[in-house]
Structures are given as C-alpha cells and as structure tokens.
Amino acid sequence: MRNTRATQLLFELSRPGRRSARLPAADVPAVPLETLVPRAALATAPPPLPELTEPELVRHFTNLSTQNMSVDTHFYPLGSCTMKYNPKRNERLASLSGMVDLHPYQSESTLQGLLELLHDLQEILAEISGLPAVSLQPAAGAHGELTALLVAAAHFRQLGQTRTKVLAPDSAHGTNPASAAMAGFDTVTVKSTPAGYVDMDDLAAKLDGETAVFMITNPNTLGMFDRHIADIARRVHDVGGLIYLDGANMNAILGITRPGDFGADMMHFNPHKTFSGPHGGGGPGAGPIAVSETLAPYLPVPIVTRDGDRFRLDFDRPHSIGRVRAFFGNVGVLVRAYCYIRTHGPEGLRRVAENAILNANYLLSKVKHIFPVPQGDRCMHEFVASAQKLKSDRGVSAMDIAKRLLDYGFHAPTVYFPSTVRESMMIEPTETESKETLDAFAQTLFRISEEPPDLLHEAPHTTSISRPDEVRAARQSLVAWRAAK
C-alpha cells in the first residue's frame, strides 16, 4: 500500500513570526551599510524565506532523509558507479581538527603535515596507476577527464601539432565525449564487437594523424577487460596519439594490473568510488589524474613537492595548464582516500578487487537464466544483464523492474546504459556486500519476474511518490515553489 503521507515544503510549514533563535541586539556601534556596500546593491526588503521553529526545521529534514536510499541504508548495486559502503573510521579521521581546522591561505610552514599526506597520496596513486606524475586538483571524475584532455592539448601545442580528434568506444561513459568537446576536440565513436570489445577494424579505419587521444574505460562498461588493450595502445601510439584511461572501473583491477603498464598515458581516479568517501548528489568528490613523464610538465599548478625534509607547493611550472581547482583540490575526500589505502595496504587493495570480481560473478551466475547476460558467463566487477526477453514475453521493461525493486528495499541497478544492450540492467554488487545480501537480491529479481505486469507497470507502491512522468518533468520542469492561489 502506498505511503500517502506527503512531506510539506518549508514554505508550507512557515508561519509569520516563528524563529529558530532570537538573538540579542548588537552591543557595538552599528556601521552604516552604505559605507561597506553601495546602496544600489542593497535589497529593499528581506528575502521571502520560510519562518519556522527549530523542531519544525529539524523534523522536516529528518523526514526527508528517511525517504532517501543510500549505501548506509540499502543495497545499492548501481553499475559503473561503484556505490560501495565507505568505512566510518575514514570519516572520523578526515574530521580530526588537524585536518578540518586548517585554512588554505595559511603559510606552508604551518601545513607541513597535510602537505606530507598529500605528497604521499600523489606517490601512492602514481604507484597504483603505473604513471609517475599526479595532480590532486580535479574535483570529480569528469573534471579529471577534462583536465587530462587539456594536458593532452597543451602537449600537442608544445609539439606544434594540430590534432582535432578524440576517439571513444560506443560503450564509453557519456562524460567522455562531453569532456573532449570542452577541451576543443571532435569526438569520433568507435564501434564495439558483438562480444563487447573495441572493434579493431573500425578503430583502424578511424585512426590517423589527426587523432589526439583514444579514451577507453578498461574494464569497460560491460564489465569486461578488453583483451586487445595492448594492441590498441600500440596502434594509437604509432600515429602519435595518446591513450586516456577512464578510471571509473579501477575497483576491478587494484593491485592486479596498472593502466600505465598496459599502455595508458593518462587517467583519472574516482577516489570516492574506488577508495572511500561520500558519493552521490553530485558531490563531494575528487578526480585526481595521473600522467606519463612526458605529460608531467603540463599538469595543473600547484603540485606538492618534497624539498629535503620539508614540503611545498610548486607553482614554477612554465608549461602548466594553470589551476583547475581552488587550493589543493577537495582535500576532505583525498584524506578519506589516503586513510582507506593505508588501512588496506597493497595486498588489501588487491583483495578489494578480487572480492569485487567474485561478488559480481556470483551474482551473474544466480540471475543469468532469468536475465540473460549477452556478453558471456564471466565478468570483472560488474555485468550487464538484459530484460529484453521479459519485455517481449510479458511486456515488463527494465524500468518496471527498477521501480519495483524499491518496494523490496533495494535500489535499482543502472538501467538503459550502456545502450549497446537492449533493456540493459548494469549490476555492480561491489566487494562490501555479503553472500546473504546477494542471495536476497537475486531472489527478489526472480520474484519480480513472475509478478503480474499490471502490478509492475504501476510500481513503486510503497513510496510517497509513485512513478512521475519523466518526459514531462524534463520538458516542463518546475523547480521553484509557488504559493497556492
């Protein structure tokens, strides 16, 4: 039965004169505002903000939070986004006063502990990636992509070359072509084979002297390690191009193989996904990049460097693309990642990847007879199943399944991506889930596959809002509150 209790907006709860706190009058002489801000810039009236007591405010946001799903409350098998549980100890460590009370404008002499941590993290990420130079500045994975492509563009300018093309497989993350366009390149799509790998003939046909970068996610979005990666790298390098490795799926290869060793020239990390940190709602995040020695001069400034037993921020980099983020990057997320890595150590990181692969293959084996996996019986950290047969036989779509999972207390996997699989469901259980959780999820998928189609078309049935008209919401979005007339 649907939960029909609606959560009122703050504006609907508002009553004139209500306050959460009442402050005494200032006991210092007032400074006329016009001496600080031009009168023309001052508002003529206070903004129409809601007026509430503290209990009303706290209850409102607490009630809203109970309507959310998160990794802390539910299983969240969101393929390609590695929504794994993040240890709370890393939250506590990143919240120590020696971290959170620092200010980026402090003198470097008072930031030595933090700078040492960031320098160590640079070296750790260089070792994990197999690429010797690292910038911690980018604020997210897509920002890291853009930064790396700007580094590549600077490299080719320095060589006096005009290269216009970035190649990307048809299964690439959507941010890849977007980042390429923002960096001034044209994106050319390379086809995949029916088996899910890069089509080497199509790559050869599109690879030429205009190619600046080939962007590849490996393991790819189908959860498969491209067996042709060394050959791909060789071919791209033979025409003078660079290999960019989308690091979204690093959770599958930690401690097993390194992008630099199989031909990558540059890559980004998603530390909030691969290591530890909050994830969702667009942030907070981070997207450090690692690059080859050839590309190191173009990295953003500053880079944390070691000078004897001291650490400093190096701005003296004449070929740098400049800043891409304020200060040192999103330090809070970077500290969490550092704590996660140091906790696990080299062997522990390898076990992270091995357990992620084990969980994904176990779940694949449990569901493939109901939801076929077109690209085979084995995967890395994730796999893409298809609801196409269920849709053909009973009219039940991947979206119906996704919505119905909410009623059973599970977040849905990614649906309809990648588009190379019809009615796709991209499932990533991660290494942090137990066998019991995976068994319960698989059993729920079986149960849903046998439920009446009409029940599924109207799902979810237990949430305060059922299934909105997403097309209408996109075309006629209403994002501002309006008072009832």
Taking only the tens place, the pLDDT of each residue in 51-69 is 999 999 999 999 988 888 8
Q: Are 65 and 427 in contact (CB under 8 A)?
A: no
Q: Which residues have C-beta within 8 Å of that of residue 210, sequence separation ≥ 6?
A: 163, 164, 165
For the four alpha carbons of 121, 127, 132 and 134, in that order, the dihedral sign comes to negative
Supply the pLDDT for residue 1: 46
Q: Which residues have C-beta within 8 Å of that of residue 168, sequence separation ≥ 6?
A: 176, 177, 180, 187, 188, 189, 190, 214, 215, 216
Q: Are 213 and 368 in contact (CB under 8 A)?
A: no
Mean pLDDT, the chain, whole residue set: 92
Supply the pLDDT for residue 146: 97
Residue 88, number of CB atoms within 10 A of its CB: 10
Residue 283, number of CB atoms within 10 A of its CB: 13
Cα 94–chain centre separation: 20
For the four alpha carbons of 264, 270, 274 and 276, in that order, the dihedral sign comes to positive
Taking only the tens place, the pLDDT of each residue in 423-451 is 999 999 999 999 999 999 999 999 999 99
d(CA 172, CA 216): 7
State the burial class of residue 484 (Cβ atoms within 10 Å of its Cβ: 0-12, 13-18, 19+): exposed
SS3 call for 384: strand
pTM of this prediction exceeds 0.85: yes
d(CA 458, CA 481): 27
Cα 56–chain centre separation: 34
d(CA 174, CA 165): 17
Could you state, in chain order, the average pLDDT of each consecutive group of 10 residues for the chain (485 residues)?
67 91 85 83 87 94 88 91 90 92 91 96 98 95 95 98 95 89 96 93 97 96 94 98 96 97 97 84 79 98 95 96 88 94 97 98 97 92 97 97 97 92 96 97 98 97 87 86 72
Q: Which residues have C-beta within 8 Å of that of residue 341, sequence separation ≥ 6?
A: 121, 124, 128, 275, 349
DSSP for 272-321, please give it: HHHT-S---TT-S----EEE-TTTGGGSPSPEEEEETTEEEEE---TT--
Domains of the chain: residue spans and CATH: 10-66 (no CATH), 89-344 (3.40.640.10), 353-472 (3.90.1150.10)
Taking only the tens place, the pLDDT of each residue in 140-186 is 999 999 999 999 999 999 999 999 999 999 988 888 999 999 999 99
The full length of the chain comes to 485
Instruction: List the structure tokens of 195.
Output: 């088996």
Q: Are 432 and 475 in contact (CB under 8 A)?
A: no
Tokens 């005494």 map to which residue? 24
**161-to-183, 209, 238, 250 alpha-carbon distances in Å:** 15, 10, 15, 32
Cα 203–chain centre separation: 27
